[in-house]
Chains A and B, each alone.
Chain A
Amino acid sequence: QQQVKQSPQSLIVQKGGISIINCAYENTAFDYFPWYQQFPGKGPALLIAIRPDVSEKKEGRFTISFNKSAKQFSLHIMDSQPGDSATYFCAASGGTGGFKTIFGAGTRLFVKA
């Protein structure tokens, strides 16, 4: 009930391409779905987040698409750049879990120059 499943584990994209990472959750009580970006040797940092009352949120080159009925959400990185190479984690919070956050296993993105 508390799992967040993330795919793919790793992703290689050409510079300028679109990177897509998918996540699925089980607990319908979750009400906050963030994506965190982590560079090697650093802690994760919030990239973008969405609540289930909207189907899409865009910030610059980063877009979250949210499908409440399918219990899925995805991160799209448009015009991917080598500087986007990092590990990305989806997560879910809220509902009966309160402020506890459940993270996906992570996706290692490499953008080839």
Chain B
Amino acid sequence: NAGVTQTPKFQVLKTGQSMTLQCAQDMNHNSMYWYRQDPGMGLRLIYYSASEGTTDKGEVPNGYNVSRLNKREFSLRLESAAPSQTSVYFCASSANRVYEQYFGPGTRLTVT
């Protein structure tokens, strides 16, 4: 039981490049989330998926897209990376009608 896994752990991109961050959970959770963490700003919600087949914007969705591939997997795509997207990205999941979220280990992304 791995919980929430994320790949890659680290990534360096040049401005304008694209990439997809992968997230998978093996807890049969319905809801999945993508956050970014920046110093002094806590965790800010980028997108979330309340259940398979649905996605919604969070606080800071600009510059990102998401795909809920199936119940287990939720990916985050940067189409044209910008230095302002340098951050640590966390994926999380939660069971239906339960608020507790389980977080992955994070992806540290640097955009130069």
Task: Show the binding face of A for B, using Cβ within 8 Å.
Answer: 6, 9, 32, 34, 41-46, 49, 89, 93-94, 98-106
CB within 8 Å for A105 and B4 given contacts A34-B100, A99-B31 = no
A99 touches B48 (CB 8 A): yes
The residue in chain A whose Cβ has the minimal distance to the Cβ of B9 is A41
B21 interface residue, CB < 8 Å from A? Answer: no
Q: Which 9 A-B pairs have the closest CB atoms?
A: A43-B103, A103-B42, A32-B99, A103-B43, A105-B42, A93-B99, A44-B103, A46-B100, A106-B42
Q: Is the CB of A34 within 8 A of B99?
A: yes
- Decide: B105 and A101 in contact? CB cutoff 8 A: no
A101 to B101, CA, bound (A): 9
6 A-B contacts (beta carbon < 8 Å):
A34-B100, A44-B103, A45-B102, A100-B45, A101-B101, A102-B45
Bound together, the chains give a CA A101 to CA B45 distance in angstroms of 8
Q: Which residues of B contact A (CB under 8 A)?
A: 4, 31, 33, 35, 40-45, 48, 50, 58, 90, 92, 94, 99-106
Which residues from chain B contact A93 at a C-beta distance below 8 Å? Answer: 99
Q: How far is the CB of A14 from chain B (nearest CB, A)?
A: 25
Contacts of B92 in A (CB 8 A): 43
Question: Chain B contacts of A45 at CB under 8 A?
Answer: 102-103
Known pairs A44-B43, A89-B43; A98 contacts B50 (CB<8 A): yes
Chain A residue nearest in CB terms to B105: A43
Cα distance A84–B44 when bound, in Å?
24
**B50 touches which of A42, A46, A99, A105 (Cβ 8 Å):** A99
Nearest-CB residue, chain B, relative to A2: B59
Given contacts A99-B94, A103-B43, contact A46 B101 (CB under 8 A): yes
Instruction: Specify which of B44, B58, B106 is in contact with A43 (CB 8 Å cutoff).
Output: B106
A43:B40 contact, CB within 8 angstroms? no
B90: A residues at CB distance < 8 A: 43-44
* Closest CB in chain B relative to A109 CB, distance in Å: 15
Return chain A residues, CB-CB under 8 Å to B44: 103
Query: Which residues does chain B contribute within 8 Å of A6, judged by CB atoms?
Result: 42
Which of chain A's residues have a CB closer than 8 A to the CB of B104? Answer: 43
